[in-house]
Every structure is written in C-alpha cells, then in structure tokens.
Amino acid sequence: MSKFGTEFCDNFVIAEFKDDAWGEPVMGPLEPLSLHPASHVFHYASTCFEGFKAYRWPDGNPHLFRLRDHVERMRRSAASLRLPVPDADMLAGMVVDLVDREQGSIPEPPSSLYLRPTLIGTLPNIGAAASPSTEALLYVLASPVGDYFAGGVRPLKLLVEDQRSRSTETLGSTKTGGNYAAALGPTLDAKEEFGVDQVLFCPNGDVQETGAANFMLISDSEVITKPLDTSFLHGMTRASILTLAEGLGYRVNERDFTVEELLGWVGDYEAALSGTAACLTPVGTLVYHGKELSVREGDNVAKLRDALQSIQYGRSEDVHGWLTAV
C-alpha cells in the first residue's frame, strides 16, 4: 500500500456555501478545485478538517467509527474560525454516501479507509483579515491507508519541549491546518537533531500533546492524561480509550501534570500517543535536555489498542454505539 495519505479514491463529494445557504452536495470524480487566488483560505487560513475511518468487517460491510462525534467536532472547529457551519445531517450524509460509493476501495483489516472532510473559506477578498469568509467549500476525500508510522507499530521516541506550545490557547482544540503548520518546524528540527519521531509540547512545563496526537500514561491500574481545555485537540481516540480503560478496571485520572512529574513516572508507567491515524502507539524513549530516558515497557498499551480495534473491526460488540453501518 502507498504511503499513508497519498492514495485516493476515484470519487469525492463537495458542497458550496454561497448567498447564506448550503447547496446540495454533489458526488463526482476526484479532480482539482478551481479557486480564486484571493480566496480567504490562502491568505487568512480559514480552514478546518476532520480525520476518521471506515473499517471493513468480516461480512464485507463497512462501518464508520464515531461519525457523529467527528461531525460535531468539525462544526465546533468551523464555528471557532467563523466559517459557515455545515449542517450535521448534510455532512454525515456526504460521508456515508462516499463510503457507500467507494465500498470496493476499503482494504481488509488492519488497513482501513481514511475519511477527510475539509472546509475552506473561498470569499475572494484580500482585505478580509478581520472579517470571516462568507463563502465556503465543504468536501470529503477518501484514502485507503495502512499504518501511519513507517514500519508499523513500534515504540516511538519523543523530544520533551518544555517551553514552546503546539498551538494558541484558544485554537488548540480547533482542528485547523495552522496548528499542524506551527508544529512542523520544531518537529523537523527535533528529528534532525535528536532522531525523534515527534515532539511532546509542554509549554512552561505543562504536559500537553504532540504535533499530531494526544499523550497518556498507562500503568497496570491507572491511565493519566491531561483534562480537556482549549489548548489542545479533543481526540476521539483519546475519549474512546478512556472509556474502554474504565470498563476494563483502570482508574482514569484526567489531571494536569508537569514535565518533572512525567520524568518521575516513566519507570512505572507506559506512555502512548493516541489518534485516529496512530490509534494507540507506545512511546519507548523520551529525550529531555539532550538525555535519553527509557519508558517502561508493558502490555497495557497493546491491551487497550486491541480492545479498541476489536470494536472497530467488528470482533467485539459495540456497546457504546460508536459505529455507523453503511
């Protein structure tokens, strides 16, 4: 399979917002967009997106994971950027219709079909730095994907960055491209200098998240992760893992914690990154002030990842109502 996110299905679905109303979504062949060079998105970053997956079950039928939750998060992202907010049923219907059209493109587990709804401001106005885009395009891409990290699931190495933030305090929970752009430079610098996979951003010593995933610590009896606020993304995989952990008897402890506390716990806790692309991936090494610290190895990350994937792949009952059949 091609590198994650570089292979696309033949069709996509698109809807336009103009004159204060959404037009009917249109399904058609995937093709380049024609946009005015003055479009708001190019100059003022008026864009947000979502990322989630459809899984092929043993009976061949596709199921979407937490579709409605992703739709609602995208609506919140759009509202925070003052973009036209998509109707929930319209957006969900666009996704379902595309998955139904592309059923034959959904690979067998552990691969899946990655869905990427995207919303961009298209108002042609380069004088609108302090004004929202009153025109927009909403479209949904589909991409057959395998493992996000090259080489499959393996323990990752993270640089602990105890000064800089990944995002702003108000936009951290918005899934917008600007947040990923802000994390790109520090992450590439860290990869070159320290050979790490990601940067764990801990502004002023407050442990938050990496450039593309939430962070958690897991012992034999407890899961620790930062409580939700506007400074970081409210991950659906994070929420799912916490729910499953509680059901498996772990104590879920959503609390703020410092870099100093983190470094003191890595001998007793496993560490992991959670996200739609990464699922739940173990962290094996932390780099802090040039020194490498080994993180405890264990079975808890794999146990929780397997519990989640068993639901997604249809091997376990979905008692939480997370799946949408197509």
AA letter at 69:
D
Q: Which of 175, 165, 195 is nearest to 290 (CA)?
A: 195
- At 278, list the tokens: 């990464």
Contacts of 202 (CB under 8 A, 6+ apart): 160, 161, 162, 208, 258, 259, 262
Is residue 113 within 8 A of residue 53, CB to CB? The reply is yes
Q: Which of 285, 185, 172 is nearest to 235 (CA)?
A: 172
> Cα(161)–Cα(148) distance, rounded to whole angstroms?
23
Q: Which residues pair with 287 in a beta bridge?
A: 159, 292
> Cα(262)–Cα(208) distance, rounded to whole angstroms?
11
Strands (E), 207-302: 209-210, 214-218, 222-225, 251-254, 270-275, 279-288, 291-294
- At 109, list the tokens: 């587990």
> Cα(208)–Cα(200) distance, rounded to whole angstroms?
7
Catalytic annotation, pick one of 175, 191, 226, 291: 175
Residue 53 falls in the annotated catalytic set: no
Q: Decide the pairing of beta strands 156-161 and 279-288.
A: parallel
- At 74, list the tokens: 């995208």
Q: Which of 35, 47, 177, 24 is nearest to 94 (CA)?
A: 24
Among all residues, which ones are annotated catalytic? 175
